[in-house]
Amino acid sequence: MTQSKQPQGAQLGSYSPLINSTLNELASSNLISRIWEKDASVWQGEAEDITGRLGWLNAANYMGENILALNDFAKKVKLLGLKNIVLIGMGGSSLGPYVISKIIPSLSKGQSFSVLDSTAPDAIKRTLDDIEIAHSLFLVSSKSGDTSESMALYKFFWEKTCDAVGFENAGQHFVAITDQGTPLARLAIDRKFLRLFENDANIGGRFSVTSYFGFVPAVLTGLNCNELHARIAHMSKRCEPSVGIRNNPGGWLGAALAALYSEGRDKITLIASDSVAPFPLWIEQLLAESIGKSNKGVIPVVDEPLLEPNIYGDDRVFVYIRMHGD
């Protein structure tokens, strides 16, 4: 039996043999290759629905072809003096960009970036108080193009923008990020938005941070998207089937979580060092929405006060995410 290569920092104790066995099973079933081949039989459900949501596997290549255009667009926005960037979106359209903006602050002097993912009056008022409408750019982000909360917020800020700069100029203060042919895409064309970014429809919402949904907010806030893309592409390569499952970070993590779940450890407590403190919020969404089918799954736990180890039962897995130097 091939021995498992345990990642640096992993403390698995008596569970190591079980994880090694799980890795053997995944290798013998060619699971990683089947995932990359978009083999719908890996998952439960209708094949068409599944294969139509696996575009994130190729997002690194997809976005690599568009980085130069994104950089040019960011320069145009800066020349227009649009210094207040407001992202309007819900769930997968906003959480990833929010986390990136908090972990990698890259705003230039006088620039602001905010995420509005609530229709609560107080949240809307805070956004209005923090920006100058005439110098603002609103990113309306919705995969379906008809998310009710996002469209309600869009209508509110459209009216405010029309009051500030006039109906004829209002469209130049809006950007749409959506799938091709959605109601939002048609609206962006009709009202002459500054830009319409049509995303790969095969990328599901919560996995979309490596597509336009993540890159457009990132580049507009000054993030080095060439470096961001290079890192995404690097990790994507490390997770390809040719790497071998024992050296494959994604394969190893999946095997470890599955093996620990089979032993009753169905709660994952996410802890992060100061410089990456917001990161678990995004991981929480990915886990909670992706792993919870057929009454099986793990429960992510975030922002829980830490107790002494002997207080916890045998149902926990602790994941500590730490930046070098923290």
**CATH assignment of the domain containing 131:** 3.40.50.10490
In this structure, are 123 and 218 located in the same domain?
Answer: yes
Q: Does residue 39 surpass a pLDDT of 80? A: yes
Q: Bridge partners of 199?
A: 179
pLDDT of residue 2: 45
One-letter amino acid of 272: A
Q: Is 274 helix (H, G, I), strand (E, B) or coil?
A: helix
In this structure, are 200 and 62 located in the same domain?
Answer: yes
In this structure, are 28 and 83 located in the same domain?
Answer: no
Q: What tokens were used for 294? A: 């057929």
pLDDT of residue 161: 98
pLDDT of residue 9: 52
In a domain, 162, yes or no: yes
**Model confidence pLDDT, tens digit, residues 42-51:** 888 787 778 8
Burial 258-289 (b: 16+ CB within 10 A, else e): bbbbeeebbbbbbbbeeebbbbbbbbbbbbee
**Model confidence pLDDT, tens digit, residues 77-128:** 999 999 999 999 998 888 889 998 888 877 888 899 999 999 999 999 999 9
In this structure, are 217 and 304 located in the same domain?
Answer: no
In a domain, 303, yes or no: yes
**How far apart (Å, rounded) are the C-alpha atoms in residues 238 and 248?**
6
CA atoms within 13 A on the CB side of 162: 9
In a domain, 229, yes or no: no
Q: Note down the domain range covering 253.
A: 13-37+242-321
Tell me which residue has tokens 């107080």. 122
Calculate the alpha carbon distances from 193 to 135, 186, 197, 198 in Å: 15, 10, 10, 13
Q: What tokens were used for 82? A: 């649009």
Mean pLDDT throughout 209-235? 92
In a domain, 52, yes or no: no
In this structure, are 204 and 149 located in the same domain?
Answer: yes
Distance linking the first and last C-alpha atoms of the chain: 38
In this structure, are 173 and 259 located in the same domain?
Answer: no
Of the candidates 71, 192, 78, which has an alpha carbon nearest to the alpha carbon of residue 135? Answer: 78
**How far apart (Å, rounded) are the C-alpha atoms in residues 19 and 31?**
15
Q: What tokens were used for 222? A: 């000054």
61 neighbors 210 (Cβ within 8 angstroms): no
Burial 212-236 (b: 16+ CB within 10 A, else e): bbbbbbbbbbbbebeebbeebbeeb
47 neighbors 38 (Cβ within 8 angstroms): no
Which of 223, 254, 279 is the endpoint of a domain?
A: 223
Q: What tokens were used for 9? A: 């920092």
74 neighbors 195 (Cβ within 8 angstroms): no
